[in-house]
Amino acid sequence: MKKLLLFLCLIVFFKVSAQEDAWLFLKDKPQETNFLENPTLMLTQRALDRRAKLNISLDTKDVPVDKAYYDQLKSDNTITVLGKSKWLNAVHIQGEIVNINNLITNYSFIASVEFANKSLNLNGKSNGKTITANHYNKFKENLTDFNYGAADNQIKMLKGDYLHQQELTGEGQIIAIIDAGFPNVNTLDAFSRIRDNNQILGGYNFADRNDNFYTRNNHGTHVLSSIAGYIKDAYVGTAPDAKFYLFISEISETETVLEETLWVEAAERADSLGVDVINTSLGYTTYDNPNHNHTYADMDGKTTFISRGAEIGASRGMLLVNAVGNDGNNSWKYMGAPADAPSVISVGAVNSLGNIASFSSFGPTSDGRIKPEILGQGQNPALIHYLSGEITTLSSGTSFSSPIMAGLIACLNQNDGFLLKSSLKNANENFNDYLKKAIYESADKFKNPTDQHGYGIPNFETALNKYIASLSLLNDESINFKIYPNPVQDRFKISIDNFENMSIQIYNILGKKVFEKAALTSTNIDISFLNTGIYLVNISSDDQYKTIKLIKE
């Protein structure tokens, strides 16, 4: 009897061990025309408005996976369907190798199969530095004119207080947090401000396929606190007036490639809802099945499923911010995916003095690009504890420097009213590229980047000025004018060859029009009534215009 039980156990073991993960890439989307002609079937109006603002057209990647194809695969009893991605037109499945390989013959709509175990792929990359699995340490938390309180250092180190002084506090921005769970965000006093102001717009638990996102691992609660936490006179997050979607894609008790697919699903949901910024304090290199591990060669931004998805997400107009990883002290010291993706803003960690945290992961990517790009405080930052609701500084990790940065990036992105008077000269450009360039160029090591520092610690005061200046340069050059003095106190003069039929508008940093003259009758402009700060002066005539930055002292 014991032998029989042992035999049965071996049968079960081999049956389970033969299960493999794979992605089925589909040939087409038969309903493409219908969806593109009726875009609200796949994207909210806010998402469509964001695309229009950023001059990003809809394309086939926005169209959902064909329902008929998906239903056929779901009903196939030789495999299990675990997830899907419209961006990559792929379905994540699990099954025995022989059954998966038979699918491409059985279903004419399947273009190709890609196994998570790269040795099973004819063109798979299996060479490179191996990585030791350590998923139990995936959320490394080493003990170690707001009154910012305990958050003062981590915000002022980046000159985030300057953005807040300009009324750039994240209002009008939507941030998606894709993480491992958000327990007690619905009850803790430190999150009452965003609850009472209806700043939590919703979320979804992709790990359990249900609507309960106030559950699972506390990592997401700590991450969210660095952006949205608020305790009067004691703690302020970096984007206190932003709105949020909370998504769970991480299954913290295991490490499987399914989490890459769930992340892409969450990013697709964020895009469809019109999200502006995504923060991800997750990264993938190793799995419980070592055959699925990534190698350094895979860290090229275009190999892993999640990094391919991240690149498409950025092309949709979202700003993606990702922790670079906590492996700086390990034999595998490099970033994980999707931090390796070219369009992802990858964030490393420093301590309170601005010195590099030894655990912060290194670049470059395997194809030689700088990673991380920028650094924020990730060693012992101030956070809100998920149980007590009190301020704690006992955790460390790039998991926290990333959201600190994501909040300020959302604040910088808030001045998108300037985009209304700007136009791209190159159809392949993205307005977000100008924002990222301004941040990188503001960093303290921009001219001398290193493998662990990247470009260094950014200065968001400098970044704001660079961003505004770069957008004004996109304007029509056919109108030539100057303003002086600049900076100005009460009045400035316009130097222009001919102001006949010219009008003037002045916008504040939020993109709100604060002054207008329909027809210029004088080149002497009184702005004594305006508050100190940064403005844009726009001179226009018919469809011609040019904008110059003005500083009022």
Amino acid symbol at 71: D
DSSP, res 249 = -
**Measured on CA atoms in the order 315, 204, 77, 124, is the torsion positive or negative?**
positive
Q: Which residues contact 175 (CB under 8 A, 6 or more apart)?
A: 227, 239, 242, 243, 244, 245, 275, 276, 277, 278, 279, 406, 407, 410
- Compute the CA torsion angle 178, 400, 230, 408 (nearest 10 deg): -80
Task: Give the C-alpha separation, 125 to 129, whole Å.
Answer: 12
CA angle 16, 22, 27 (to 5 degrees): 145
Q: Which residues pair with 204 in a beta bridge?
A: 247
Q: What angle, 0 to 180 degrees and rounded to 10, lies between the N-to-C axes of helices 398-413 and 460-472?
A: 40
For 508, other C-beta atoms within 10 Å of its C-beta total 20
The answer to whether residue 388 is catalytic is: no
CA distance 82 to 99: 16
Say which residues have a Cβ less than 8 Å from residue 98's Cβ, sequence separation at least 6: none
401 is catalytic: no
Whether 371 and 363 have beta carbons less than 8 Å apart is answered as yes
Give backbone dihedrals phi and psi of 402, rounded to 5 degrees, phi first.
-65, -55
* Distances 493 to 4, 182, 266, 306, 436 between C-alpha atoms, Å: 96, 54, 51, 53, 33
Query: From CA 436, how far away is CA 537, in angstroms rounded?
Result: 24
355-392 b/e with 16+ CB inside 10 Å = b? ebbebbbbbbbbeebbbbbbbbbbbbbbbbbbeebebb
The tokens of 4 are what? 């029989």
Q: How far apart are CA 404 and CA 376, in angstroms?
A: 7
- Which of 92, 219, 292, 385 is the catalytic position? 219
Which of 361, 399, 401, 422 is catalytic? The answer is: 399
> Distance between terminal CA atoms of the chain?
90
Cα 26 from chain centre = 27
- Tell which residue, 271, 223, 231, has the closest CA to residue 407: 223
The answer to whether 399 is a known catalytic residue is yes
Catalytic residue of the set 21, 161, 179, 416: 179
Burial 200-228 (b: 16+ CB within 10 A, else e): beebbbbbeeeeebbbbbbbbbbbbbbbb
Catalytic residue numbers read 179, 219, 399
